[in-house]
Structure 1
Amino acid sequence: MIDDSKAKPQVKLVRGQLQIIASRNIEHRRQLLSDWYKQKAFEVFSKRLDQLLSTAPWIKECPSINLRAMRSRWGSCAVNGKITLNTHLIKAPIACIDYVILHELCHHFEHNHSDKFYRLLNQVSPNWKQVKQYLDKAANLYLMT
């Protein structure tokens, strides 16, 4: 945290460290950080979705992504195909982000957690169980605000 009331309030990633430049107002700092995570999440998730679409030939149009800070899920897929991803997922490794996106893309084909769904998930993400296990164990760390 850099307390500088004269500098432009911002969040920067410098050599692997987050720097928050803002006034002493805790709520302002919290909002700056939340906005920064949301922006980064949208950039990374959109890029990953574009790259992963080739592994999901059943997807005819690129689904839209919504972001939301959630406490108990990493993502969801609405009946209309819209994918919502947890903003906090940006704190996890790319393998975790890919797993969640692929999981939601599989819901475009099978909108439940049936055997058919898991067969499809196994095809597009053979190591999904290990990634999910890691994500479940690390959830408390990533879900901290």
Structure 2
Amino acid sequence: MAPRALLLLACLLGPEPAAAGLFGPPKFVQDACKRWCAVGSADTDAFEACGRCSEGPQTSPACSGGADCNYCQREIAFPRHWPKLWREEPTFKGKMAKLEGKTRCWCDTGCPVYYIKSWLFCSKECTAICHKVPADVANATVISV
């Protein structure tokens, strides 16, 4: 029964990224964003942190500018970066600092939505990342004789 329920959930989620508007950030994140955005552009760290508040889910910088990327490359299997104030915000209790350089693959993410999406839609890419297999080995074709 559990695999069927998981499949149903995956069909409902689809391969699109989780929409921030659907779930939204927790109140403590909203409060920190209000503080950073109130400072304005006078403080570059606050300006960068404020900008991240309204950007939505982070996508791979390698996939910007019309680069040809698949869903996994664009949304899941890339190391994420967080602004300084996000990593150091006391109300975040160090959670963002732990995510610095991590992917949205099941072995790195704490988000149940991305855990399921990475498992269902990016299994090959995330298996390589989670088992620390070099990309050239993960993408190699095995020919058996």
Q: Which has the higher helix share?
A: 2
Q: More relative contact order in 1 or in 2 (CA 8 Å, sep 6+)?
A: 2
TM-score, normalised via structure 2 length: 0.27
TM-score, normalised via structure 1 length: 0.27
Q: Which has the higher strand share?
A: 1
